[in-house]
Structure 1
Amino acid sequence: MQLSLRLAAISKMVHGGNRLVDVGCDHGYLPVYLVLNKKIPSAIAMDVRKGPLLRAKEHVQQYGVSDYIELRLSDGLSALKAGEGDTLVIAGMGGPLMERILTEGKQVLDSFQELILQPQSDVCHFRHFIREQGWEIREEELILEDGKFYPMMRVTRSIEGCVPWTREEEAFGKFLLEARHPVLKLYLQRELGIRKKILEKLVDAGEGARERKAEVEEEKQLLMAALTRYESK
């Protein structure tokens, strides 16, 4: 079985030997791949929709791993009990939805050793949120696949307390900036180009667009600061 670049990157973040819980498992490719490659002993694959679970069941049976992967219909973490997994994966959802799932499932979160999270939107706010909840980001990755950027992170419970991140670090990823991640540069350049084009269109938009101009200009300055930091190393 061959995973997409996005799922392959997530699979590399999973600590070997951990029991996996995959929320929003879709086709179940990730847990099937990890079990087949003996990186994990077992998994619970969950989804809020019956359709994806049926497809996941087909793949589980196709690859002969039914004894190792349990499928559950679940809204977020509602069908999970504390202690049933070591690594929690939530990927391919909007940041606000992931925040809701983590907030509503707070009673089982402390039983996990690590969370691997891949928010699709509001990533800056999500980084701030996860660290406010007492989790620390330990590792970050950014994948470009089929024209889309996929940021992901591995987090564990913070023992020493979280050191505040700068706005640039929350917006674009502290570890991605520090590592001068090549995909991050592509992302920053693309986003900067988008902001410049928006500002050009807003030149003749009149007074009514003043607030929007200020907002886009602020985003542009943040992107330029991140690029300067990236290129100065």
Structure 2
Amino acid sequence: MIKLSPRLQIVYDMIPACDTVADVGCDHGYLSIALLENGVAKKVIPMDVNKGPLSKASENIQAAGFLDQSDLRLSDGLAKLSPDEADVICICGMGGALIQRIISAGIAVAKSARLMIIEPQSEYLELRTFLMEQGFVIDDEDLTCEENKIYPIIKFHYEADESKRVTYNTAQLEYGPKVIEKAPELLIKFLDKNESEYSSIINKLEQGGASEAALARCQELRAKLEIITQIKNSL
């Protein structure tokens, strides 16, 4: 049995029993193997933009005996995936801007999936804002810590019925509506870390002079500190 990292285990646990899962940026193929081993998915489509990782995933999947249930594809994001081809689409271990680009470029495919699970490693507010504006609704979220960095894992679906869509506030877009709702211990660590980092940057900028750029950055960071205070007071 394949052993998943804590990060991939969270992703795995969010995936319901289904027919087909597409894993974009499949890396070693471990998630696909785990899904097939446990019968969560009947078929997987591991995808990667680079030949090296895809070849390694192919070797691992073949060694596990699941090559006949796997359709490996060399693909830039969702380019080689058709609408309605996958019930679940996973995009993990990338920057938020790259994940946004991948979803935007393959928006019809993304909207056709039963659900998507992403693990962005940056640009959380911008990415969640994009998802909200495109009509996606967040179903679940969790936080994971890897190499002392805290990342969100977000599960969402496209909501065709506009009356069922959700408008998130700035705090929810920055830290995640479901994360704030759950208030896990990692959220407190995440808030404390950002609070310390933002305060330190403000102090350095104020000591370095009052250029227009510095003042604008200080204002931006103070707004982020207000969001942190708002969340902490609500917990």
1:202 CA drift (Å):
2.5
Aligned residues: 230
1:78 CA drift (Å):
1.0
What secondary structure sits across from 1:206 in the alignment?
Answer: coil
CA–CA distance in 1 between the matches of 2:77 and 2:54?
14
Counterpart contact for 2:111–2:157, Cα < 8 Å: no
Aligned-residue sequence identity (percent) comes to 34
CA–CA distance in 2 between the matches of 1:163 and 1:107?
20
What secondary structure sits across from 1:18 in the alignment?
Answer: strand
**Scaled by the length of structure 2, what TM-score is found?**
0.93
CA–CA distance in 1 between the matches of 2:52 and 2:78?
18
- The answer as to 2:229 corresponding to 1:224 is yes
1:163 CA drift (Å):
2.6
- The answer as to 2:116 corresponding to 1:115 is yes
Gaps of 5+ in 1: none
CA–CA distance in 1 between the matches of 2:108 and 2:196?
43
Residue number in structure 2 paired with 1:126:
127
CA–CA distance in 2 between the matches of 1:18 and 1:120?
28
CA–CA distance in 2 between the matches of 1:204 and 1:111?
51
1:82 CA drift (Å):
2.1
CA–CA distance in 1 between the matches of 2:140 and 2:119?
12
Post-superposition CA distance 1:138-197 (Å, at most 9, x none): 111111122111201111122333231111111111111111121111100111011122
Counterpart contact for 1:29–1:56, Cα < 8 Å: yes
Residue number in structure 2 paired with 1:62:
63
Residue number in structure 1 paired with 2:186:
183
Counterpart contact for 1:134–1:161, Cα < 8 Å: no
Counterpart contact for 1:6–1:150, Cα < 8 Å: no
Larger CA deviation: 108-117 vs 164-173: 108-117
What secondary structure sits across from 2:72 in the alignment?
Answer: strand
| 1:23-172 correspondence runs (5 A) | 23-158=24-159, 159=161, 160-172=163-175
Counterpart contact for 1:41–1:68, Cα < 8 Å: yes
1:15 CA drift (Å):
1.1
CA RMSD of aligned residues (A): 1.3
Gaps of 5+ in 2: none
CA–CA distance in 1 between the matches of 2:74 and 2:190?
36
What secondary structure sits across from 1:42 in the alignment?
Answer: strand
Q: Which amino acid aligns with 2:44?
A: A
CA–CA distance in 2 between the matches of 1:204 and 1:124?
28
